[in-house]
Structure 1
Amino acid sequence: MGHFDESGLESTAGELRGRGIDVLRLGYSDLIGTERGRDILLNRFAQTVGDGVAFCRSVYATTPTGDVVPIDGGLADGLPDVVAFPDLSTVREVPWEPGVAHCIADVFNPDGTPSEESPRNVLRRVVAAFDELGMTPMVGPELEFYVLQRDADAASGWSRYGEATGNVYVAGRKGDPENFLLRSLRHLDNYDIDAVAANHEFASGQFEINLWHSEALDAADRAFLFKSAVKELARQEDKLATFMAKPFNDEGGSGFHLHFSAWKDGRPAFDDPHGGHGLSDVGRSAVAGVLAHAPALAALANPTVNSYKRFGPDTLAPWLVDWGLDNRSAMVRIPPERGRASRLELRLGDATANPYLVIAGLLASAYLGIRDELVVPPPLEGYGYDTSKAEMLPQNLGAALDALEADTEFATLLGPKFVRTFLDYKRDEVERFSRWVTDWEFREYAYHL
């Protein structure tokens, strides 16, 4: 970090102005994946960002309700700054906001060192570990979400958009009566984030949009932009898009599945026609690493109190630490393709997960498995959810956070300062929830006790 080359900034600004752009939106991820940022007029772009754009460090630890959680280097130190610099390779026009372009920022401490709390920097640390193995991790994200419409009669003020049964895996107005999904898919295509397909999911108002695979940091960038974009597109139509893990008692949750492979010397590192199940030793050790570190990984893949209400038998959400061959009831599924398409699919994550952190967690666990040459147990046979066959995942956020703290190898790879900050932030969430009186408690007790 340092003073940005003003000629490069002016060149970028001039190019954008030539395309009718007058504002650049500089954005970055906080701990929970919310985009924080600033709109910058291009006629002041070089002066504004040349020395970085300052933000209060505690924005990392600002809760969805606006509370500021005490973290290391935050409130107790007088709320100092971090400094954001644009990664000009990520500039793209925003199709639904005429005259606006978007750029992802990298975040630094004032002394010029990378901010350890920055989720993008956390992922970079883990990718660097794969560099030492001579491997390039590739990731393909799949995200589910609900779209809600205003409803004055609903307690929350919202109800599911397009309420109807039996619309799983349909396209068109049958499950999307106003074509919201189709319009969004076209906008995302013009946003250049490699969205490839969309469909209605199992539940009313639930949809999935798939993103193409790419190198891990790029995949995380695109998933981060995707989540922000879908929420913005819904707001434009007075709707609410939510990636909440399980927003309804009577419908299933929303997942964040990750397809992961590694490449070495131009070849798929997980493929071996002569290996067990057509997987190489490296591929099987990667699976073993994910299983070994799954309890800690859950803290990043399932990072909210609500996340653990998505789990359970017959939910198609993982409940046990297991893997299977083309088995969607397993936590780690090995799709049937081999050769260049050899990969594992992590089905653990829910849609609330921060893309940078869940991908960093997946890579960290796989890296440790590969480094330590871990041996994978036999795959799941038949339908999962049998607790006699495999260890259960953490069943609440507190247990997952304890597992993350206890898994020192995993935590060290992610970065000790990041892990301390994440634990402080999330334990505050658990404590606040434990003190909150819920609708369930009132219904259960108020009239009878």
Structure 2
Amino acid sequence: MSNSNLAGFISRHGLWNAEQQAAADKILKDFPGSGLRTVRASVADPQGKLRSKTLLPNIFKSAMKNGLDFTSAQFNFDSAEAIAYNPFTEDGGVGNSMMAGFPDLILVPDPLTFRELPWAKGTGWILGDMYFNDGTPVPFDARHLLKKAEADLRAEGYDYVAGLEVEFYVTRIVEQKLAPEDLGNLGIPPEPPVVEAIARGYAYQSEEQQDMIHELLETLSQHCMALGLPLRTMEDEMGPGQLEFTFDVQSGLEAADSMVLFRSMVKQVCARMGLHATFMARPGLANFCASGWHLHQSMNDAQGNNAFANMSGTSSLLSEPAMNFVGGLLTHAVAASVFTTPTINGYKRRKPNSLAPDRATWGHDNRAAMIRVQGGPGDRTSHVENRVGEPAANPYLYIGCQIAAGVDGLRRRLSPGPLETSPYEAVNRPLLPKNLMEAVNTLDGSAFFRETFGNTYVDWLLGIKRCEIRRFLAAHPNWAEEPDQVTDWEHREYFTRY
């Protein structure tokens, strides 16, 4: 049922800028002849997974003026829909009376994200932000948090630029496991499908193996281009059916939006082909290598020039502002771990000599470092690559924490210290958290992220993650005896959902 209080909600609260309004006007003008029969209105949940409603044309047109009633339930769920907070209390369990009783919130579509889904004929798609009925942003929606981080950087005179490098697995489904007893419940994920590899592995960037999956790669690339995702390259990675896709640079918000849409597209398209895609860092399958999400980043100045490039004629790898930005990334890397690596499973990547960092280091074109500098003096393309993230991370939090840390580096003129030539042996660099439990405790004590993101957000997120941790510890109380072993709990928790 519609909410009569929503009439003119978007304009009444000034929620769109001129560019968004112009885009909305064009969408509504072109809609009658577009051939679209439905539109999915989506929002990214706390895990960065899309939640959506499918709208008929008249409801979509209304939503583009009035917003859309949308449940608040997602903000009470952990990664397996276990109820982390009791909503039937005065403050909704999260310290906010407007969240009491599982109320409806308002999803406000962002017209700049509107697409037609090429794999679902006649279906449009639009991403949005969550607001309370009084027009204030819902503080638990991380897309708001990212937009604020970008605004803080703009206040320093720079725009953030990000390029995505994402690894993931595609397998072939042998048995769906759809019997009622396999479907799980709240807090119990469904039984994962039984799968097999789509190709042989362990031949890094083998052209023969890449040709074996040509049809899949061609399908995914065509969908990326149809969606306007700036795909650059595709390759067969180390493990069987492990792929890496890279994307050209975008703004922070555009890159985060691209990531949620890309992951959703890959999973949906693969499912239609009898395949199963997962962005779980290390599946519980024999001999499967870990996957990462490497985030390439730099800044543009007010003239649109790469502010990371050192064009001064000195020997410094990066400009002074870039050095300060990197200093911020390194200073806050340990506390940011929940944002970059939010699952129990993601920490199985963090081992010495594994191509994933185990401490907060930086190096020049060194894949053992957390921050890998690419470029050098006089190179206008100079930027850094953060290799710490897992592909299941919420992109708004991953990118948002990078910008926030970088802004702090700029404001305090933080130094990254000397380059490391042997990052895994660096004794003067802080070790990154070895597990989610350690990461949660570190974030809990972070004065910086509490001040930057707010106590309300940090405490709420910690509660979501602790609910996930409690379920893991209940299933595997002796996990520390084999900390590198991927448990059956992890495979069931993440292989299907992510």
Q: TM-score under structure 2 normalisation?
A: 0.83
Q: 1:182 to 1:413 in 2, by over 3 A?
A: same
Q: CA deviation at 1:66?
A: 2.7
Partner of 1:193, secondary structure, is coil
- C-alpha spacing 1:272/1:336, structure 2 compared with 1 (3 Å): closer
CA contact (8 A) 2:174 2:194 kept: yes
2:127 to 101, 104, 119: 104
Residue 179 of structure 1 is aligned with which of 204, 215, 218?
Answer: 215
* Contact 1:22–1:43 (Cα < 8 Å) also in 2: no
- Report matched runs for 1:210-225 at 5 Å: 210-225=246-261
Shift of 1:64: 4.0
Work out whether 1:66 is the aligned partner of 2:81: yes
Structure 2 distance, partners of 1:322, 1:160, is 37
Q: Find the residue that maps to 2:287 and give its secondary structure.
A: coil
Give the AA of the match of 2:9. H
Counterpart-to-counterpart distance in 2, 1:112 and 1:386: 51
- 336-345 vs 185-194, which deviates more? 336-345
Q: Closer, same or farther in 2 for the Cα pair 1:55/1:187, shift >3 Å?
A: same
Q: Distance in 2 between matches of 1:172 and 1:69?
A: 47
Distance change in 2, residues 1:373/1:175 (3 Å): same
1:16 matched to which residue of 2? 31
Whether the 8 Å contact between 1:320 and 1:391 is mirrored in structure 2 is yes
Counterparts of 1:115 and 1:95 in 2: how far apart (Å)? 31
Q: Is the 8 A contact 2:107 2:131 kept in 1?
A: yes
Structure 1 window deviating more from structure 2 (416-425 vs 403-412): it is 403-412
Q: Which ranges of structure 1 fall in alignment gaps of 5 or more residues? A: 445-449
Which shifted more, 362-371 or 39-48? 39-48
Distance 2:140 2:351 in 1: 32
Alignment partner, residue 372 of structure 1: 412
1:259 paired with 2:320, answer: no
Instruction: Give matches, 1:272-311, under 5 Å.
Output: 272-273=310-311, 274-311=313-350
CA distance in 2, matches of 1:13, 1:68: 38
Aligned equivalents of 1:52, 1:362: Cα separation in 2 = 30
| CA deviations over 1:143-189 (Å, ceiling 9, x no partner) | 11001212359995433432413432245754644621221111111
Deviation of 1:101 after TM superposition, in Å, equals: 1.2
Distance 1:173 1:43, change over 3 A: farther
Aligned equivalents of 2:385, 2:403: Cα separation in 1: 12
Structure 2: distance between partners of 1:63 and 1:425: 5
Q: Could you tell me which of 44, 55, 61 is aligned with 1:46?
A: 61
| AA matched with 2:272 | Q
> 5+ residue gaps in structure 2?
1-5, 13-20, 95-99, 178-190, 486-498
Q: Name the structure 2 match of 1:130.
A: 153
Q: What do you get for the CA RMSD once the two structures are aligned? A: 2.7
What are the equivalent positions in structure 2 for 1:16-415 lying under 5 Å apart?
A: 16-70=31-85, 73-74=91-92, 77-152=100-175, 157-171=193-207, 174=210, 176-177=212-213, 179-248=215-284, 250-266=287-303, 267-273=305-311, 274-336=313-375, 339-382=379-422, 384-386=423-425, 388=427, 390-415=429-454
The 1-side partners of 2:282 and 2:363 are apart by 25
Alpha-carbon deviation of 1:11?
5.3
Deviation at 1:199, TM superposition (A): 1.0
Query: 2-side partners of 1:123 and 1:263: how far apart?
Result: 17
Q: 2:494 — aligned with what?
A: none
Deviation string 1:95-115 (CA, Å, 9 cap, x unpaired) is 111111111112111221111
Contact 2:130 2:137 in 1 (8 A): yes
Matched AA of 1:46: K
Offset, 1:434: 0.5
- Find the aligned partners of 1:120 and 1:230 in 2 and give their Cα distance: 21
Residues 350 and 358, structure 2, Cα contact 8 Å, conserved in 1:
yes
Percent identity of paired positions between Structure 1 and Structure 2? 29
> Greater shift after overlay, 334-343 or 363-372?
334-343
Greater shift after overlay, 215-224 or 153-162?
A: 153-162
- 1:26 alignment partner, SS class: strand
Evaluate the alpha carbon distance shift between residue 48 and residue 13 of structure 1 in structure 2; reply closer, same or farther with a 3 A threshold. same
What is the distance in 2 between the residues matched to 1:438 and 1:232? 35
**Shift in CA distance, 153/95, structure 1 to aligned 2, threshold 3 Å:** closer
Structure 2 SS opposite 1:217: helix
Relative to structure 1, is the Cα distance of residues 411 and 5 closer, same or farther in structure 2, using a 3 angstrom cutoff?
closer
- Mark the CA change 1:157 to 1:215 in structure 2 (over 3 Å): closer, same or farther: closer
SS of residue in 1 equivalent to 2:467: helix
Kept in 1: contact 2:37–2:122 (CA 8 A): yes
Tell me which residue corresponds to 2:9: 3
Q: What secondary structure, in the 3-state scheme, does the structure 2 residue paired with 1:112 have?
A: coil
Quick one: distance in 1 between partners of 2:176 and 2:159? Answer: 51
Counterparts of 2:41 and 2:73, CA distance in 1: 18
Amino acid at match of 1:82: L
Deviations 1:70-102 (A, max 9, x none): 078535721122210111111111111111111
Residue in 2 that maps onto 1:447: none
Question: Is contact 1:144–1:256 with CA below 8 Å preserved after alignment?
Answer: yes
Partner of 1:303: helix, strand, or coil? Answer: coil
Which deviates more from structure 2 when the two are superposed, residues 403-412 or residues 190-199?
A: 403-412
**CA positional deviation for 1:281:** 1.4
Q: How many residues align?
A: 443
SS in 1 for 2:335: helix
Report the equivalent of 1:434. Answer: 473
AA paired with 2:140? Answer: E
Partner deviation per Cα, 1:369-391 (whole Å, 9 max, x = no partner): 11110122111114x32253532
